[in-house]
Structure 1
Amino acid sequence: MPVSVVTFLDLCLAVLGLYLLKRLLETRHKLPPGPKGYPVVGNLLDMPTENSWSIFGQWGDMYGDICSVTVLGQTFVILNSATAAFEILDRKSSIYSDRPVMPFGGELVGWKNTLVLLPYGDRFRRYRKLFHSLIGSQATMKQYYPAEELETKRFLRRILMKPDDLQRHIRKTAGAVILRISHGYEVKESNDPFVQLADLATEQFSVATAPGQFLVDSIPALRHVPDWFPGAGFKRTAKAWASTLLEMVEQPHSFVKQQIASGTATKSFSSSFLESKQLTEEEEFDLKWSAASLYSGAADTIVSAIYTFFLAMTLYPEVARKAQAEIDSVVGNDRLPTFADRPHLPFLEAVVKETFRWNVVTPLAVPHRASQDDYHNGFYIPKGALVIPNIWKMTHDERMYSNPMEFKPERFLSVDGHTPEPEPSATVFGFGRRICPGMHLADVSVFISCAMSLAVFDITKSVENGIVIEPVNERTNGTISHPKQFQCTVKPRSLKAATLIQAED
């Protein structure tokens, strides 16, 4: 056979071999499906900046429960079903418990020191241990029931006096409960500096960690540009927000130390550890940032959920009436509900569950990070990929929830042979080793607020000049999402109810 023919055949076989190898590698390293991107930038232009959870949910409908995009070389894997999230984030939690490095919110602002963005490792486990000893179960939460009931009574009183400031009252009460638990601090009735500081910091956190808000998160090298460089305004913003965060951490901690020195400290998360022994510098660092994590991790969850409850009662008056009838039959009209009544209020319990499901507080949670290469159902998830559980999609999945856009507490009750729909607590508080440590605190805070509010108030649509004001269920953007401000009317159900509200603590 002529040499030229052999050379040609060898060349053809080599080309065929390279082609087959390429196809084999492509098959083996097949990312989950998703929108087709562009060279270099990938899916940069596809990434939404508003209502991301809704857009990601549409991708789920188009590409499946597990889909992906790549932005400037960074892979994002989006999980649009609870099944996919449990299989990946729970069953493979050893791989997916890490957090991404967030150049803006984590590194430049400093939220990397709080539990929500803390890398998985020894410090993370120490934080979790501290939290578990404080609020890690319903049993440990019982010691805080009196404080929860007391602050909620004060919440009712504030609404009675100034019903138009509902959102501010909710935020103040959430801050009062958490600061009492974390630092033994009793908030001032107006313009409390610690509440204002913590609210500002958590508001900044929501923006600082939202996907697509800051270009430096996609191009980390930008963090090294000089502050004076054109377009470097994000660095000045980060410095201002870092200062706010540090004050939120240091000021309440210093308050506790001063109270201990003067012998006037009340029992709290911080005082218990500071008084137990002489802490090392590292232990004190862990303590004060853990205490700050409690506020940043639970306060906005409580605020968003309770505001959602008032919106739902405004839009679904029949639900409010049914819950009030149950409360009246169990509690009566001569006292306010307490936690002791909870086992006897199944419909109200369902209202609380539906509140967390209907308008989920963290629609996309905070991304997990793959710590090694993984293959799942034939898809390749590379090391360093950011895995985003689309909790909003999971809690509005028509395969799991009937008429998911409606507020229907009955979905969680076993009535007339109806099989209850899945508990939202399995998804709304996160997955794997990253389940929200404040979930029990949020649960009890929302329950007692719902119970006491319905016991004494009627919540209805506002009427101006004879025209009914129809609230719209719209959400704010950010890692932590709230209902956008709406109007409603909150009035005592009776003179007796008003008397109960005004009774001494």
Structure 2
Amino acid sequence: MLHFVVIFLDTCLAVLGVYLLKRLLLESKHKLPPGPKGLPIVGNIFDMPSENAWVTFAKWGEVYGDISSITVFGQTIVVLNSARAAFELLDKKSSIYSDRPVLQMGGELIGWKNTLALMPYASKRFRRYRRLFHNLIGSQATIGQYYPVQELETHRFLRRVLTSSEDLQDHIRKTAGAIIFRISHGYEVKECNDPFVRLADLATEQFSVATAPGQFLVDSIPALRHIPDWFPGAGFKITAKAWASTLLEMVEQPHNFVKQQVASGTAAKSFTSSLLESKQLTDEEEFDLKWSAASLYSGAADTIVSVIYTFFLAMTLYPEVAKKAQAEIDAVVGSDRLPTLADRSYLPYIEALVKEVFRWNVVTPLAVAHRASQDDFHDGYFIPEGAIILPNIWKMTHDEQTYSDPMEFKPERFLANDGRKVETDPRETVFGFGRRICPGMHLADASAFISCAMSLAVFDITKCLEHGAVIEPVNERTNGTISHPKPFRCSIRPRSQKAAALIQADD
């Protein structure tokens, strides 16, 4: 057994050495984007931040410019710290930069490679998924058919918050899950501890960790995926198996639910039931259907959760913004009904507030990584085939050249009052770039608007008092590909008895 291990390690080191030598010879001929100086062989592995990577990368941008790079075991990683650089590479050269890197942990070992987020750009399956999503939620016109679902589930969200505001984060997750599962599977979530929502939340939380840069060494040294499970340091393989099981359950269980409903003739209309009822699907078509339905949840639900939780944090910290927004709702909608998505064009301050929520705390601070599918030269720098491209969206939305006082929450920045210059709509960057823009962007945007408008119409959101002392929330973020505000406390109370009656009114 020891002899086997020695041979295996020797082989891995030999393969790694040949690969690194080839990369060094190639890159020595050309100039990579600037960045921190690395060490021989391992490169910049000790420079990779373990948390809040977007902040570290932003600091690199101040030193090295809009485009910087590092290498880790021969793998080139390029960081884009400006919207201009991101658009020039990922939009204008989208034919080169639309691929995804092969993520050994999240993609290969766990299985997220079967979802749209990590699927190779050149694959036929990617194009089929995109076609399915475009027909379902790909435009403002198609998303309009789901407005009643979003309004209904948001009204139910208000009712839950009224009953137990201390469980705010759970209520937000339940509402996001309810909206997505109604659309994807025609499934109405259970009021308490819904199994599908629980599974989906767990799986997307694991996705966030498994795909974050620098979290697992196997992503930098792919040969490690072949070491035996019992080998020291192979704990990541045990984790991968457990997380793969969670992902598979998230995909299979809702799909099987719909199949049973279709067989019994009781299926509600949904993305999944419509396709199952249209014809007898081949194994490949059914695979596409169930994984694209799962992609819808992972692509939109967690965005909705992060955005709405950010909204409540912002209203707690900036009460003057909440009062301005409530004044607009009172003037336009009145107090006899809840706002709807049909009111959106008449509520410009709420619209600006939603934009600011997306900008202030970005859901995916480093997006999902892109990959260069061929060698390229840009601004005099060499970007080799296979380079991982990380657009630092957090830096782009907090760039003082683009946004005044970027750390402050100021919806007015998006309004042209008093001759003020309107600042850039953050939705041009926060949903991604090129041919990898999030397909759930219209759904997430509409859900954010109706949640903000309805919540402000009926609730006062303020800081908590405990033993006479004000509890100050802190704007801190979780790590991972998908970032959320860390838990905070706030007080949520109905604005009036009339508002409470509106919340409790029948759907």
TM range (shorter): over 0.9
Other-structure match for 1:112: 113
- Structure 1 residue 458 corresponds to structure 2 residue 460: yes
Other-structure match for 1:32: 33
Letter in 2 for 1:103: Q
Question: For each residue in 1:223-268, what CA deviation from the matched residue of structure 2 results, as whole angstroms up to 9, or x when unmatched?
Answer: 0011111111110100000000000000000011100000001110
- Structure 1 residue 390 corresponds to structure 2 residue 382: no
SS of residue matched to 2:335: coil
Other-structure match for 1:95: 96
SS of residue matched to 1:468: strand
Question: For each residue in 1:47-91, what CA deviation from the matched residue of structure 2 results, as whole angstroms up to 9, or x when unmatched?
Answer: 001000000000000000000000100000000000000000000
Question: For each residue in 1:116-151, what CA deviation from the matched residue of structure 2 results, as whole angstroms up to 9, or x when unmatched?
Answer: 000112111110000000000111011101110100
Q: Give me the whole-angstrom Cα distance separating, in 1, the residues matched to 2:471 and 2:29.
A: 57
Q: Give me the whole-angstrom Cα distance separating, in 2, the residues matched to 1:97 and 1:378.
A: 21
8 A Cα contact 1:298 1:438, kept in partner: yes
- Structure 1 residue 194 corresponds to structure 2 residue 170: no
Choose the corresponding residue for 2:227, options 202, 207, 225: 225
Q: Give me the whole-angstrom Cα distance separating, in 1, the residues matched to 2:27 and 2:340.
A: 60
1:312 is displaced (CA, Å) by 0.2
Choose the corresponding residue for 2:330, options 315, 328, 331: 328
8 A Cα contact 1:366 1:388, kept in partner: yes
Question: For each residue in 1:267-303, what CA deviation from the matched residue of structure 2 results, as whole angstroms up to 9, or x when unmatched?
Answer: 1011111111111111111110000000011111000
Q: Give me the whole-angstrom Cα distance separating, in 1, the residues matched to 2:343 and 2:352.
A: 14
Moved more, 60-69 or 223-232: 223-232
Other-structure match for 2:447: 445
Letter in 2 for 1:324: Q
Question: For each residue in 1:303-335, what CA deviation from the matched residue of structure 2 results, as whole angstroms up to 9, or x when unmatched?
Answer: 000000000000000000000000000000000
Write out aligned runs for 1:80-229 (5 A).
80-121=81-122, 122-229=124-231
Structure 1 gap ranges (5+): 1-23
1:26 is displaced (CA, Å) by 7.2
Other-structure match for 1:338: 340
Other-structure match for 1:264: 266
SS of residue matched to 1:125: helix
Q: Give me the whole-angstrom Cα distance separating, in 1, the residues matched to 2:249 and 2:128.
A: 23
Other-structure match for 1:18: none
Letter in 2 for 1:459: I
- Structure 1 residue 418 corresponds to structure 2 residue 420: yes
SS of residue matched to 2:300: helix
Structure 2 gap ranges (5+): 1-24
- Normalising to structure 1: TM-score of the pair? 0.95
Q: Percent identity?
A: 79
1:163 is displaced (CA, Å) by 0.7
Choose the corresponding residue for 2:249, options 243, 247, 256: 247
Cα RMSD of the aligned pairs, angstroms, is 1.0
Question: For each residue in 1:174-230, what CA deviation from the matched residue of structure 2 results, as whole angstroms up to 9, or x when unmatched?
Answer: 000000000000000001100001001001000010111111111111100111111
Of structures 1 and 2, the larger Rg is shown by 1
Q: Give me the whole-angstrom Cα distance separating, in 2, the residues matched to 1:120 and 1:496.
A: 52
Q: Give me the whole-angstrom Cα distance separating, in 2, the residues matched to 1:314 and 1:162.
A: 17
Q: Give me the whole-angstrom Cα distance separating, in 1, the residues matched to 2:242 and 2:320.
A: 47
Question: For each residue in 1:325-359, what CA deviation from the matched residue of structure 2 results, as whole angstroms up to 9, or x when unmatched?
Answer: 00000000000000111000000000000000000
Write out aligned runs for 1:341-380 (5 A).
341-380=343-382
Other-structure match for 2:485: 483
Q: Give me the whole-angstrom Cα distance separating, in 2, the residues matched to 1:142 and 1:366.
A: 27
Other-structure match for 2:18: none
Change in 2 beyond 3 A, CA 1:201/1:453: same
Q: Give me the whole-angstrom Cα distance separating, in 1, the residues matched to 2:375 and 2:199.
A: 41
Q: Give me the whole-angstrom Cα distance separating, in 1, the residues matched to 2:157 and 2:395.
A: 33
1:99 is displaced (CA, Å) by 0.3
8 A Cα contact 1:456 1:498, kept in partner: yes
8 A Cα contact 1:28 1:380, kept in partner: no
Q: Give me the whole-angstrom Cα distance separating, in 2, the residues matched to 1:236 and 1:291.
A: 27
Question: For each residue in 1:440-459, what CA deviation from the matched residue of structure 2 results, as whole angstroms up to 9, or x when unmatched?
Answer: 01000010000000000000
What is the aligned residue count?
482
1:25 is displaced (CA, Å) by 8.4
Other-structure match for 1:236: 238
Letter in 2 for 1:426: E
- Normalising to structure 2: TM-score of the pair? 0.94
Question: For each residue in 1:9-33, what CA deviation from the matched residue of structure 2 results, as whole angstroms up to 9, or x when unmatched?
Answer: xxxxxxxxxxxxxxx9878610000
SS of residue matched to 1:116: helix
